[in-house]
Structure 1
Amino acid sequence: MEKEREIKALFFDIDGTLVSFNTHRIPRSTIEAIEAAKQKGIKIFIATGRPLVYINNLADIAHLVDGYVTTNGACIVIDGQVVACHAIPEADVRTMMRFSDERHFPCILVGETDALLYNATHEVEEFFHRLLDLQQISSPVSLDTLLQQRITQMTPIITADVEAEIMPLLPSCESSRWYPAFADVTARGVDKGEGVKTVARHFGFPVEATMAFGDGGNDTRMLQVAGIGVAMGNANEPLKAVADYVTTSVDDDGVKRALEHWHVL
Structure 2
Amino acid sequence: MKKKPEAIVFFDLDGTLFNKDIDVLPSSYDAIRKLKQNNIVPIIATGRTPPEAVDLMKDTGIDSIIGMNGQVVIYEKEVVFTNNIDKNLITRLYEYSREKMNIPLSFYSYKTMRVSENSLPAQKFYTSLKQQVPPVDDQIYLKEPIQMLLLLCEQGESPYREVFPELTFIRNTHYCVDVFNHGGSKGNGIKELLKTKGFNDVPTYAFGDGMNDFEMFLTVDHPVAMSNAVDQLKEKAEYVTDTNNNDGIAKALKKFGLI
User: Same fold by TM-score, threshold 0.5 exceeded?
Assistant: yes
Indicate yes or no: 2:81 matched with 1:96. Answer: no
1:70-109 deviations in Å (ceiling 9; x for gaps): 0100111223332111111123211221122122222111
Contact 1:159 1:180 in 2 (8 A): yes
- SS of corresponding position for 2:213: helix
1:153 to 148, 155, 158: 148
Report the counterpart of residue 3 of structure 1 in structure 2.
none
Amino acid at match of 1:14: L
Report the counterpart of residue 138 of structure 1 in structure 2.
134
Query: Which whole-Å CA distance do the structure 2 matches of 1:207 and 1:193 have between them?
Result: 16
- SS of corresponding position for 1:15: helix
1:26-72 deviations in Å (ceiling 9; x for gaps): 00001111111110000111111001122255156442x24111010
Contact 2:124 2:175 in 1 (8 A): no
Indicate yes or no: 2:100 matched with 1:105. Answer: no
Offset of residue 221 of structure 1: 0.6
Report the counterpart of residue 26 of structure 1 in structure 2.
24
Report the counterpart of residue 247 of structure 2 in structure 1.
253
Q: Which stretches in structure 2 are left out of the alignment for 5+ residues?
A: none
Residues 103-112 or 248-257, more deviating: 103-112
Indicate yes or no: 2:80 matched with 1:83. Answer: yes
Report the counterpart of residue 164 of structure 2 in structure 1.
170
2:175 to 167, 171, 181: 181
After TM superposition, the score normalised by the length of structure 2 is: 0.90
How many pairs were matched up? 254
Offset of residue 121 of structure 1: 1.0
1:173-208 deviations in Å (ceiling 9; x for gaps): 112223233211111111001111122223322266
Report the counterpart of residue 258 of structure 2 in structure 1.
264
Indicate yes or no: 2:31 matched with 1:36. Answer: no
Offset of residue 224 of structure 1: 1.4
User: What is the root-mean-square deviation of aligned Cα atoms in Å?
Assistant: 2.1
Offset of residue 169 of structure 1: 1.6
Contact 2:117 2:137 in 1 (8 A): no
Seen in structure 2, the aligned counterparts of structure 1 residues 54 and 261 have a Cα distance that, compared at 3 Å, is same
Contact 2:205 2:221 in 1 (8 A): yes
1:127-174 deviations in Å (ceiling 9; x for gaps): 322x2111x2314x74334431111111102355x3221122223211
Contact 2:225 2:233 in 1 (8 A): yes
State the 4+ residue runs in structure 1 displaced beyond 6 angstroms: none
Query: Which whole-Å CA distance do the structure 2 matches of 1:104 and 1:254 have between them?
Result: 40
1:192-238 deviations in Å (ceiling 9; x for gaps): 01111122223322266100011111000101111100111111111
